[in-house]
Chain A
């Protein structure tokens, strides 16, 4: 059909036709097949590992959330939201899945150094511990800006404050934290951690 065209044109027509073949195979059939199997076999994971409460989705166990007090003036973009003492606090960050990413500040950036010092002082005062005891994950922002996890140390540090703010028995809250401390995957992959969203979700069930 294209026999009469110059070879350079024929070559590009063949290239386009091959691309369309691949687009159908790899761009439509393949993702649909993966989606089909995923939804049939692992629908919970495939849909974002959602956490529900009273039948309503209240988050994903993979995506961190902010646990701040309401702003005094919700329309004031300048006002910095303050952490709510009744909740376990995540790592610093905005937790907006529409704006993911890191600070990208360099290892010797003066602004970053200053921010870390401020975070350390603020967390120490908030949790009532010595500044040098505040763990590293409490003063650094994650790569995704959505990190749902904190270190077990940071979770333990927050027990007294949460228990007091909620009028709960500190021992019971401490047990809840220990129940939520996850070891390394298969014993050796990654780091130990506690999931703040799951921890706080469990907290809502405590009387």
Chain B
């Protein structure tokens, strides 16, 4: 079989598998979020946690619960890392430095999983499995909980209640993430991913050299790293590491896992609002953007476009693994940056100018195609609101989406959401470029060096976590600045989403009339796609022109 046909089959198999999962998983999540019954294990958790599982919360209380849980999580993780040398299973690792501890705590709680450290030389097994991996689960569940509250804003009428955060969080973990993680962790191990509690084993190689074989509970963390769109690798090489991602099948499976929840959530949305066609429209927009991005990156990598190194070498294999090849690497790179995953199986810094630039652009889109678990759906629903608003302006009537009027209050929250991330990215990257010490952190020079800095802030503020990894980021300044970018980039948008949910839930729905814009037709799919590209394009074009575009055209 030739390379092109195999590459196409790999993509088609992925799309087919996701399409088969769309309905069952989407319906299951919808049922999880709407069922009146608690499982016994969930009741037990509420009792241990001291929370009332039957309360219905106002948006402000829901928000305070999200923020309290996240604040406690940051402090807990920070303390965990600072104290790791005193704990079990530290495999000889010393306490993590304050800068890295803060950055990493912010990173894992915000579902970013930016890593300014190397796992194999910084983190013991206990911090990895009982600290970082726990956040991989719950930060993903927080994203789904927030979008559940937003959907309830659309479905409920004349109420100030949007659901119960503790119930949403617990149910998503217990009924969705944990069962999937367990099954696929075993599949990953069967494929070759390691799962043990070995420390570093010193062995003598075939020629008698010393080699240090690392161990760890890797598969159990790897699976939720993808499934929860987290992306923080057990090892520095992330999903390029053969112990995390041993072969082309596990590679394909990991891409499937990092997409599967975010691509099924539109079904959950359609199901909860009582019109599955609304979900199809959203998944169609996600699919169009994803497919275009896969095409652009794959073509640029296959043909070494504008890359001197690629032409001299005879292909873009620098930073890529032989077992995945170009197709398997490009597919992963696109999927990881269009979700908020940020795991990498190849190193984007060495991608062709437009291929690498596309990974930055993917994140700039706000990670909505399909985006992170939950965060992708609430991101695209905000953009849908903007699209409906734009359409309303054209015909001069008050816009409405799913029967809810989008008045001044709703549009303010939507606009604030849209403005937050670019503000953090551009101010952060601007500051870093203005400071000589921070500028010196660039590995590469010229336009590509600027792309490294732009990538870092785009990745942090959008809670992605991947990097143009040449940039030296383990400094106090970057650890602090990027840590703050992650926290603001995660929680300010959540504030606006939940405020919007509260505002929508209070309304009495208006009946659809002949003048109502239908939001399930191809026309709306086109409108929403255009709005996404225009809003993002106008915001980031100058920054992109200085980095990847300048490099690609020179």
Chain A residue with the shortest CB-CB distance to B207? A67
| B116–chain A nearest beta-carbon distance, Å | 13
Chain A residue numbers with a CB within 8 Å of B323 are 147, 149, 190-191, 193
Given A109-B448, A141-B318, A190-B328, check contact A47 B207 (CB 8 Å).
Answer: no
Chain A residue with the shortest CB-CB distance to B138? A22
Partner among B220, B236, B324, B345 whose Cβ is within 8 Å of the Cβ of A31: B220
Partner among B130, B237, B249, B345 whose Cβ is within 8 Å of the Cβ of A186: B249
- In the assembled complex, B434 has its CB within 8 A of some CB on chain A: no
- In the assembled complex, B204 has its CB within 8 A of some CB on chain A: yes
Chain B residue with the shortest CB-CB distance to A59? B205
Chain B residue numbers with a CB within 8 Å of A67 are 206-207
Establish whether residues B68 and A190, one from each chain, have CB atoms under 8 Å apart when the complex forms: no
Chain A residue with the shortest CB-CB distance to B177? A26
CA distance A146 to B237 in the complex (A): 9
- In the assembled complex, A77 has its CB within 8 A of some CB on chain B: no
Establish whether residues B189 and A38, one from each chain, have CB atoms under 8 Å apart when the complex forms: yes
Interface string of B181-214 (1 = CB under 8 A from A): 1100110011111111110110111110101111
Given A31-B217, A101-B469, check contact A150 B133 (CB 8 Å).
Answer: no
Report the interface size for chain A: residues with CB under 8 A from the other chain. 99
Chain A residue numbers with a CB within 8 Å of B306 are 107-108
Partner among A25, A65, A102, A150 whose Cβ is within 8 Å of the Cβ of B347: A102
Q: Which of B42-50, B278-286, B363-371, B484-492 contacts A (4 or more CB under 8 A)?
A: B42-50
Interface string of A11-23 (1 = CB under 8 A from B): 1111111110111
| B147–chain A nearest beta-carbon distance, Å | 20
- In the assembled complex, B480 has its CB within 8 A of some CB on chain A: no
- In the assembled complex, B19 has its CB within 8 A of some CB on chain A: no
Chain B residue numbers with a CB within 8 Å of A112 are 309, 318, 350
- In the assembled complex, B166 has its CB within 8 A of some CB on chain A: yes
- In the assembled complex, A48 has its CB within 8 A of some CB on chain B: yes
Interface string of A29-55 (1 = CB under 8 A from B): 011011101110110011111100100
Establish whether residues B312 and A104, one from each chain, have CB atoms under 8 Å apart when the complex forms: no
| A197–chain B nearest beta-carbon distance, Å | 7
- In the assembled complex, B247 has its CB within 8 A of some CB on chain A: yes
CA distance A51 to B321 in the complex (A): 21
* Residues from 122 to 157 in A contacting B, C-beta threshold 8 Å: 135-137, 139-151
CA distance A122 to B470 in the complex (A): 26
Establish whether residues A100 and B235, one from each chain, have CB atoms under 8 Å apart when the complex forms: yes
Establish whether residues A104 and B195, one from each chain, have CB atoms under 8 Å apart when the complex forms: no
Establish whether residues B309 and A65, one from each chain, have CB atoms under 8 Å apart when the complex forms: no
Chain B residue with the shortest CB-CB distance to A95? B211
Chain B residue numbers with a CB within 8 Å of A187 are 1, 6
| A58–chain B nearest beta-carbon distance, Å | 5
Establish whether residues A146 and B320, one from each chain, have CB atoms under 8 Å apart when the complex forms: no
| A10–chain B nearest beta-carbon distance, Å | 8
Interface string of B120-139 (1 = CB under 8 A from A): 11000000011101100110
Establish whether residues B206 and A197, one from each chain, have CB atoms under 8 Å apart when the complex forms: yes
- In the assembled complex, A82 has its CB within 8 A of some CB on chain B: no
CA distance A26 to B179 in the complex (A): 11
CA distance A49 to B98 in the complex (A): 36
Establish whether residues B204 and A116, one from each chain, have CB atoms under 8 Å apart when the complex forms: no
Chain A residue numbers with a CB within 8 Å of B431 are none
* Residues from 99 to 113 in B contacting A, C-beta threshold 8 Å: none
Q: Which of B238-246, B497-505, B526-534 contacts A (4 or more CB under 8 A)?
A: B238-246
Chain A residue numbers with a CB within 8 Å of B351 are 107
CA distance A204 to B213 in the complex (A): 21
Establish whether residues A116 and B353, one from each chain, have CB atoms under 8 Å apart when the complex forms: no
CA distance A68 to B211 in the complex (A): 13
Chain B residue numbers with a CB within 8 Å of A16 are 72, 76
- In the assembled complex, A66 has its CB within 8 A of some CB on chain B: yes
- In the assembled complex, B352 has its CB within 8 A of some CB on chain A: yes
Chain A residue with the shortest CB-CB distance to B76? A19
Chain A residue with the shortest CB-CB distance to B190? A42
Establish whether residues B130 and A27, one from each chain, have CB atoms under 8 Å apart when the complex forms: yes
Establish whether residues A105 and B350, one from each chain, have CB atoms under 8 Å apart when the complex forms: yes
* Residues from 68 to 119 in A contacting B, C-beta threshold 8 Å: 68, 84, 87, 91, 95-109, 112-113, 116-117
Establish whether residues A45 and B318, one from each chain, have CB atoms under 8 Å apart when the complex forms: no
Establish whether residues A189 and B249, one from each chain, have CB atoms under 8 Å apart when the complex forms: yes
- In the assembled complex, B344 has its CB within 8 A of some CB on chain A: yes
- In the assembled complex, A185 has its CB within 8 A of some CB on chain B: yes
Chain B residue numbers with a CB within 8 Å of A144 are 237, 240-242, 321
Establish whether residues B120 and A190, one from each chain, have CB atoms under 8 Å apart when the complex forms: no
Chain A residue numbers with a CB within 8 Å of B443 are 104-105
Partner among B50, B213, B304, B328 whose Cβ is within 8 Å of the Cβ of A191: B328
Establish whether residues B72 and A15, one from each chain, have CB atoms under 8 Å apart when the complex forms: yes
CA distance A31 to B349 in the complex (A): 33
Establish whether residues B242 and A107, one from each chain, have CB atoms under 8 Å apart when the complex forms: no
CA distance A19 to B68 in the complex (A): 11
Chain A residue with the shortest CB-CB distance to B131? A27
Establish whether residues B211 and A116, one from each chain, have CB atoms under 8 Å apart when the complex forms: no
CA distance A60 to B246 in the complex (A): 11
Chain B residue numbers with a CB within 8 Å of A103 are 318-319, 347, 350
Establish whether residues A39 and B322, one from each chain, have CB atoms under 8 Å apart when the complex forms: no
Establish whether residues B133 and A27, one from each chain, have CB atoms under 8 Å apart when the complex forms: yes
Partner among A101, A105, A151 whose Cβ is within 8 Å of the Cβ of B118: A101
Establish whether residues A58 and B444, one from each chain, have CB atoms under 8 Å apart when the complex forms: no
CA distance A190 to B316 in the complex (A): 15
Partner among B130, B190, B197 whose Cβ is within 8 Å of the Cβ of A35: B197
Given A34-B195, A97-B214, A186-B249, check contact A14 B207 (CB 8 Å).
Answer: no
CA distance A108 to B217 in the complex (A): 38
- In the assembled complex, B252 has its CB within 8 A of some CB on chain A: yes
Chain A residue with the shortest CB-CB distance to B132? A27
Establish whether residues B173 and A135, one from each chain, have CB atoms under 8 Å apart when the complex forms: no
- In the assembled complex, A206 has its CB within 8 A of some CB on chain B: no
CA distance A120 to B309 in the complex (A): 12
Establish whether residues A57 and B201, one from each chain, have CB atoms under 8 Å apart when the complex forms: yes
CA distance A4 to B493 in the complex (A): 33
Nearest 5 pairs between A and B by C-beta? A190-B248, A191-B325, A27-B130, A143-B240, A104-B470
Can you list 28 contacts pairing A with B, beta carbon distance less than 8 Å? A1-B50, A21-B48, A22-B138, A27-B129, A31-B220, A34-B195, A37-B189, A38-B189, A38-B196, A45-B193, A47-B198, A58-B203, A62-B243, A97-B212, A107-B304, A107-B356, A107-B448, A109-B448, A140-B318, A140-B320, A142-B319, A142-B321, A147-B321, A185-B247, A190-B248, A190-B328, A191-B3, A201-B206
Q: Taking beta carbons and an 8 Å cutoff, which residues of B are in contact with A?
A: 1, 3, 5-6, 9-10, 13, 45, 48-51, 64-65, 68-69, 71-73, 76, 118, 120-121, 129-131, 133-134, 137-138, 166, 169-170, 173, 178, 181-182, 185-186, 189-198, 200-201, 203-207, 209, 211-215, 217, 219-221, 235-237, 240-243, 246-249, 251-252, 304, 306-310, 312-325, 328-329, 344-347, 349-353, 356, 443-444, 448, 468-470, 551
